[in-house]
Amino acid sequence: MSRIKLVRFAENAARPEIVEPGKDTYQQLAGRWNEAFFPAAQPITLEMGCGKGEYTVGLAARYPERNFLGLDIKGERIWRGSTRAREQELTNVGFLRTQALTLLAHFAPGELSEIWITFPDPRPRLGDAKRRLTAPRFLDLYQQVLRPGGLVHLKTDSEALFDYSLETVRARPGATVLAHTKDLYATPELLPHAEDIQTHYERRYRSEGIPIKYLQFQLS
């Protein structure tokens, strides 16, 4: 491991806004995020696979009346997101370093108001379908941790992942597709719902002429 990574991981260990294995807060905040982690009790939005935290921090800066968490397994990505939040002096944002399948260990039923899935790995191989963040087993988890009527948003460049996700949600009992498009920036009426915050990947895809797909749905 490089010296830079070691330094950043040590900084992660000292940053209270980062929840990760080895800290007392890890697996002890389910049902208590607004009580024991955030300064103010506000609706909580979670970004799955937040990467470098661009979207999580962007949302937190835009909506100070809400709380935001970015989830990712990579410590260096979490460090970058945390650093970005610190530079902006944001207190309504935190980061959780864990695997996506562990949601129930970290959140109580109905604790989240909203979930964002921004440019996840599309897992194009058929054998990897269950690893897609919109696969049924993940939707099961989202439904448990979201409040009734909570929203899920997907932004992706992958038409295959978009089609799979739309089909999966439509086939799910009780789920409702609220909005969808295969070309977000050619559908301006949906932009306020999808947010105009752009990650590195979104800017790159747009510069390459790849349409951005967007899906918004409820699970119950």
Residues tagged in the binding site annotation for substrate: 157, 199-202
- How many Å is the maximal CA-CA distance in the chain? 50
Alpha carbon of 151 to those of 111, 139, 178, 213: distances in Å?
13, 12, 9, 17
- Contact at 8 Å (CB) between 85 and 93? yes
Residues tagged in the binding site annotation: 47, 72, 121, 157, 199-202
Tokens 């040590």, residue located: 10
- Contact at 8 Å (CB) between 52 and 197? no
Residues carrying an active site annotation? 121
Instruction: Say whether 215 sits in a helix, a strand or coil.
Output: strand
Alpha helices in the chain, H assignment, sequence order: 3-14, 33-36, 54-62, 75-87, 103-106, 136-145, 159-170, 191-194, 200-207
Residues tagged in the binding site annotation for S-adenosyl-L-methionine: 47, 72, 121
